[in-house]
Chain A
Amino acid sequence: MSNTSKTPLLRVEGLKKYYPVRGGVFAAKVGDVRAVDDVSFTVAPGETLGLVGESGCGKSTLGRTIMRLEEPTAGHVYFEGNDIATANKSALFQLRREIQAVFQDPYSSLNPRMTIGEIVREPLVVHKVGSKAEQIEAVRALLETVGLTGEMLDRYPHEFSGGQRQRIGVARALALGPKLVIADEPVSALDVSVRSQILNLMVRLQRERNLAYIFISHDLSVVEHISDSIAIMYLGRIVEIGPAAEVFAKPAHPYTRVLMAAIPVADPDQRRTTEPLKGEPPSPVAPPPGCPFHPRCAYAIDACRAAVPPLEPVKAGAPNLELGREHLAACIRKHEI
């Protein structure tokens, strides 16, 4: 396992993002969508945190709130000790150099009217890094780093395949030399053969530049491949987190277990035998009281309905390691099942 004494690059504490739900004649606030609800974790430099969950669980909102593309409702996001959640405009502008994003859809995330050169150079222009000639030189180097060539500078996004566009997205994210890249489903829209190329690229860049990733995905096999630690989200909350190898080997939360069991394996000798989970995730507007998973959980007892179970160590009496290194699960029956 990785070095436990590393100080975290990113420390998220009690982060919440609620959206108001309006109704009635005067569009008065009648409730909240709890898209992100009391989330805490850390990310170490040069490491990958895989963030997994089903649609609507709040993965993307969490990523956006960390970057403060959404205003947090509560909580803190410390990046090298500075709180992004409360930073003023100029401090935020500086912090944004350090954290960049790569998105799922390489088709819609690149401006179709800008050339590849302009797209990759834009962050350098916004942050006034170097002269124009230096910027163009930097863009050439970046394109080569991601496996494209400098000749592509003057061409437009529609001339490129999905995989090439995703490389362009990665080059742009790297332009300012960030320490953390938040990648939201970066390979989900790509074909299998292209997916492996982009994953290889991301791993290589991580090694070369000591990049940290928050890798958001619903694809567990991809997450297992690339992540050092993994967090499972359900209805706005992290229900399990820990070193990836441990979580995959011994999932402790019932939701993590059904999620893993639901994934078809590319091997006809390992066909799924378990009954699939019933029902669909409840609405984040009216989350059930207590454990958010209890309405669908085979192990639920009365106590599960009473209070939200805290994230606690899976191994009884585990040493008090730094948050993010420890295997935690939010289930009161984790030791029984």
Chain B
Amino acid sequence: MALLEIDELKVGFHTEAGLLRAVDGVSFSLEKGRTLGLVGESGCGKSVTASSILRLVPVPPGEILGGAIRFNGVDILRLPAKDLPSIRGKDVAMIFQDPMTSLNPVYTIEKQLGEVLKLRFGLDRNAARARAIGILAKVGIADPESRLTNYPHELSGGMKQRVMIAMALACEPHLLIADEPTTALDVTVQAQILNLIRALQKDTGAAVLFITHDMGVVAEMCDDVAVMYAGRIVERGDVHAIFKRSQHPYTKGLLKSLPQKGAVKKAALPTIEGVVPSLLNPPAHCRFADRCWKRKRLSDAEQKRCFSEDPKLRVHDAGLVACHFPVTAGEQP
């Protein structure tokens, strides 16, 4: 049994314009000790998927429309609300792009970190303090003892991010969900934080769900990758397969549109024309069809299939792909 199993998850939001299907049938599983990268353009449903795992989607306007999220075999979506604290911040910890999502501005670092340690391990004040100092040092905070008395606003962005990671670390979670944890940081600080997450994983054997739109970070951090597009996973595979032999035209197009090292300066970059379909009323056929470069090269009969039949995520070669006509070796956008 995998540590985390998400099965046909569907999450919607009731908006003035109607029901917005933010996540529309997402399935994946994550094993202990592995890192899965969840990538895709803004609005494709990455964060809603992640926050569903902790039942952090606000209801209303949000609504879980279907599916299951099994953590150690228990369906989190069917857990009574009173049992949620037994999961949050204990077995599962989450870090965010904005550290103030997890830090409370009116408490000192000692109070917040201490609270976590008291709840999780039943430590008394002195033991919690000693442990907190150790954890802060571990996440690379200089002079941790004096930092304990600081309030979050007295710390730089990088330091707040470290404190948030320290709080996640402190619970020794089995699953760490990291939602764009380094997007707001400078690259040199990002490199430190990424190292930290890796070290945590090595020490504890935790599974990590890593959400980012930065393909460089994915390549560096992840064992497996799931690519999302318009509320769905369109491709899943191990990181080498995704980067070297991507099978979905969207994944291939995304990777090709990055400036390549050593390419001709100012040469036109491949682009993906058009826009993502509306999630208020998504098409019943392939959601990428109107933008798809591969489709344009197909026969009329084949194209008809792209515009009539919904491609299901299925096993193909080394991974899973949701496309009727997966990209073949050597084929380029």
Which chain A residues have a beta carbon within 8 Å of chain B's beta carbons? Answer: 54-55, 161, 191-193, 195-197, 199-200, 203, 206, 218, 220-222, 224-228, 244-245, 258-259, 262-272, 276-281
Interface centre among B42, B187, B220, B270 (most CB of A within 10 A): B187
B308 at the interface (CB under 8 A from A): no
The reply to whether A193 and B158 form a contact with Cβ atoms under 8 Å apart is: no
Complex-state Cα separation, A94 to B188, whole angstroms: 41
Contact A54 B188 (CB under 8 A): yes
B214 in contact (CB, < 8 A): yes
Stretch from B25-33, B95-103, B105-113, B260-268 forming part of the interface with A: B260-268
Could you say which residues of chain B place their CB within 8 Å of the CB of A266? Answer: 215-216, 218-219, 243, 255, 258
Closest 9 CB pairs of A and B: A264-B216, A276-B191, A225-B259, A54-B186, A196-B269, A193-B272, A196-B257, A266-B215, A264-B220
B150 within 8 A of A: no
Q: How far is the CB of B77 from chain A (nearest CB, A)?
A: 30
Least CB distance from B112 to A in Å reads 21
**Cα A203 to Cα B270 with chains together (Å):** 13
Q: Is the CB of A200 within 8 A of B271?
A: yes
Given A225-B269, A263-B216, A280-B188, 12 more pairs with CB closer than 8 A: A192-B41, A193-B257, A193-B271, A197-B271, A221-B259, A225-B263, A244-B265, A264-B190, A265-B219, A269-B240, A276-B191, A279-B142
A74 to chain B, nearest CB (A): 28
Alpha-carbon distance between A281 and B271 when the two chains are bound, in angstroms: 36
Q: Is the CB of B281 closer than 8 A to any CB of chain A?
A: no
A224 to B156, CA, bound (A): 29
Given the interface contacts A196-B271, A200-B269, does A268 sit within 8 Å of B243 by beta carbon?
yes
> Are the C-beta atoms of B268 and A200 separated by less than 8 Å?
yes
Given contacts A161-B275, A222-B259, A225-B263, contact A262 B269 (CB under 8 A): no
Shortest C-beta distance, B308 to chain A (Å), equals 25
21 residue pairs from A and B, CB less than 8 Å apart: A55-B157, A191-B42, A193-B272, A196-B257, A196-B270, A221-B258, A221-B261, A225-B266, A262-B188, A262-B191, A264-B219, A265-B220, A266-B218, A266-B219, A268-B219, A268-B220, A268-B239, A268-B240, A270-B219, A276-B188, A280-B156
Q: Mark B211-225, 1 if CB is under 8 A from A, else 0.
A: 001111111110000
Q: Which of B142-172 contact A (CB under 8 A)?
A: 142, 156-159
Contacting A262 at CB < 8 Å: which of B187, B240, B268? B187
* Chain B positions 194-209 with a Cβ under 8 Å from a chain A Cβ: 194-195
B259 (CB) vs chain A CBs: closest residue = A225
Do A191 and B269 contact each other (CB < 8 Å), given the known contacts A266-B255, A271-B219?
Answer: no
- Most B CB atoms within 10 A — which of A220, A267, A278? A267
Q: Are B259 and A55 in contact (CB under 8 A)?
A: no
Cα-based distance from A314 to B191 in the complex (angstroms): 28
A336 to chain B minimum Cβ distance, whole angstroms, is 23
B253 CB, nearest partner CB in chain A, Å: 7
Q: Nearest CB to that of B263 among chain A residues?
A: A225
Q: Chain A: which residue is nearest B182 at the CB level?
A: A264
The residues of B that contact A278 with a CB separation of less than 8 Å are 140, 192
Partner of A267, one of B142, B219, B271: B219
- Given contact pairs A265-B216, A266-B216, A266-B219, A192 touches B275 in the complex (Cβ within 8 A): no
How distant is the Cα of A228 from the Cα of B262 in the complex, in angstroms? 14
